[in-house]
Amino acid sequence: MPVINVSFQVIPQVRGGNSYEVVDRAIEVVQRSGVKYEVGPMETTMEGELDELLEIVKRAQQACIDAGAARVMTLVKIDYAPGGVTMEEKVGKYRNVPPE
């Protein structure tokens, strides 16, 4: 199976709590997974095989529930190409660009 990208955003429903702390639990799941990933201001993007990445998303949702969320809405984006697709080929040209 080709290497692809999956981006996801968890939106936990937290009564009287800090939703950022709950989102941090989801990011910890990704960090512990061992896949290549990047955390952005609105979503986290991972690189790997589809089945593995979707399993990580499911575990991240459960981590939110375990951290106190009553409900979690999760938005998922999948970039799939039969030959594979990497984060570097999509955004590498924007990295390490000196400011004007």
Task: Give backbone dihedrals phi and psi of 95, rounded to 5 degrees, phi first.
Answer: -85, 150
Residue 2 has pLDDT above 80, yes or no: yes
Report pLDDT for 71.
97
Q: Are 63 and 28 in contact (CB under 8 A)?
A: yes
The reported pTM is 0.91
- Rounded Cα distance between 3 and 15, Å, is 38
CATH topology of domain 4-84: Alpha-Beta Plaits (3.30.70)
- Rounded Cα distance between 62 and 51, Å, is 17
pLDDT digits (tens, 9 = 90+) for 36-87: 999 999 999 999 999 999 999 999 999 999 999 999 999 999 999 999 999 9
Report pLDDT for 94.
86
Between 98 and 63, the more confident residue is: 63
pLDDT digits (tens, 9 = 90+) for 4-32: 999 999 999 999 878 999 999 999 999 99
Residue 93 has pLDDT above 90, yes or no: no
